[in-house]
Each structure stands twice: as structure tokens, then as C-alpha cells.
Amino acid sequence: MTVAAMVENERAAALMNENNAHSRAEAMIRTNNLWKTYIMGDEEIHALRGVTFEIKRNEYVAIIGPSGSGKSTLMNLIGCLDTPSKGDYWLNGKLVSAMDDDELAHIRNKEIGFVFQTFNLLPRASALHNVELPLIYSGMPASDRIERAKQALEAVELTNRMTHKPNELSGGQRQRVAIARALVNNPSIILADEPTGNLDSKTSTEIMQLFEHLHERGNTIILVTHEHDIAAHAHRVVSILDGQISKDERIR
């Protein structure tokens, strides 16, 4: 081999390493052959059967599939609420699949904002206090907490409803409080499981516009749904069937 060819080879190798390092850094979520098996008596239920995929920072991904296909199971793993039976999961370069419960709770509080179909707000607490709660868990001083909670409520355009309790708000407003609560810790990912499942179609559209706005602001959003018109708001749609990815397409 000539010296020139050797130099060229080395340059190519260096470039490849750089590219690999770059793509590793970019993948916020990376899973390798994730399995989740539930044991029920004598029966083994394979809720996930080898899921391998990546989600980059600031992606907006919908996970869609029929009932029982494994969407919530996958969301629970991504959200660090549960650990896989087999396979690896890296979140921001950290190997989550090997963590114990304390480490999982810590990473969950820091990195993930959850939005649920049923809002899961504290009924007796004001909108402001509901949004402030995650910051209490993370030990932030009270004055900073209130400031941050107000900012999050401002981001979902609810400054004029901060003192209302959940039963003094409309369904869409309740979900916006829940989204503000998900945002308040400045998580790297917002995970939403059927966030419009309890809303009428007009209010659903408003909530989807809010997710679009949050995505434009730089948030990474993963949305679980079984409705195609809701999934169509995302920029990438991952289809799950029988615990496996059956399709993965960029739609805009």
C-alpha cells in the first residue's frame, strides 16, 4: 500500500469514527432487541418481542398499533417505569436497562415528562400547585418552584387559570395543566399515552397544536395512540404489531 493510500485510509477511518460518535450522540433513545415477557401462571406473554430503534433529539414520533400490541409496555420501558426482560436501552447514552429502582426513579424525574389519558391531576390542588409538584420531589426551593410553574403554565396559555382546581377547568384545560406539569422539570422527553383519549375532537386538535408548538420549541415528543388522525400530527410514525415494529416511516 502506498503512503498516500494509507493516509487516505486513516482519514476515512477517522471520518467514520467521527460519524459514529456523532450519531451516537444524536440518538437520545436507543434500544437493542428489547423483550418484555409477563409470566401469568404457566403462561408466558411476550408483550414485546425484540424492539430495536432509535429516537433522536427533537424528533416528534407517534407509536401506533392495535389494542394489546405492546404500545404501553414500550412506553413504560422508554419512560423508565419498568425494565425489559431482555435487551438494552440507552437514554442519553446511559444504559437504563441495567439500573435499579432508585436509579430509575432518579432518571425518570430528571429526563421524562409524562402525559396520560386521564390527566392524573391532584383534585384538591390548584393548577399552579399541580404543576409545582415534580419540582417539590426534585428538591427545588419554593420561590424558584413557583416561578418555574408559572412559566410552564404560561407556555400552555393558562396564566388566567392558575388558581383553579381541576374540577373548575375544562377537559382541554386539565390536559394543558398536565402538559405544563410534564414540562416543568425541563425533561429531555415528553411521553404521552393517548393524551387525547378523553377529549372531544375540537379540544383534541387544540392539544395536538400545543404538542406541535412544543416540538417547534425544541422538545422531543413521543405520542402513543391508536388513532391514525392523531398519529398524523407527528413527523414519524412507528407501527407496533404483536410486540414488534412492523413499520417505521417519516411522514414530514
In the complex, which residues of this chain contact ligand ATP (CB under 6 A)? 38, 40, 45, 47, 65, 67-73, 226
Of 72 and 220, the one with the shorter C-beta distance to Mg ion is: 72
Residues 6+ apart with CB under 8 A from 48: 34, 35, 36, 70, 73, 74, 77, 84, 243, 244
Minimum CB separation of residue 18 from Mg ion in Å reads 40
Rounded distance, CA 173 to CA 153, Å? 10
- Given candidates 31, 69, 72, 173, which one binds Mg ion under the rule CB under 5 A? 72
Pairing between β-strand 220-225 and β-strand 60-64 as defined by DSSP bridges = parallel
Residue nearest to Mg ion (CB): 72
Minimum CB separation of residue 71 from ligand ATP in Å reads 3
Minimum CB separation of residue 249 from ligand ATP in Å reads 19
Question: Three-state SS for 246?
Answer: strand
Minimum CB separation of residue 72 from Mg ion in Å reads 3
Q: Return the CA Rg of the chain.
A: 20
Minimum CB separation of residue 238 from ligand ATP in Å reads 12
Of 54 and 82, the one with the shorter C-beta distance to ligand ATP is: 82
Rounded distance, CA 115 to CA 190, Å? 7
Residue 45 interface partner, choices ligand ATP, Mg ion, none, CB cut-off 5-8 Å depending on type: ligand ATP
Of 38 and 137, the one with the shorter C-beta distance to ligand ATP is: 38
Contact (Cβ atoms closer than 8 angstroms) between residue 129 and residue 153: no
Helix pair angle (127-137, 142-155), 10° resolution: 130
Contact (Cβ atoms closer than 8 angstroms) between residue 119 and residue 207: no
Of 47 and 131, the one with the shorter C-beta distance to ligand ATP is: 47
Q: Judged by CB under 5 A, which stretch of 67-75, 100-108, 147-155, 231-239 contacts Mg ion?
A: 67-75
**Residue 225 touches Mg ion, criterion: CB under 5 A:** no
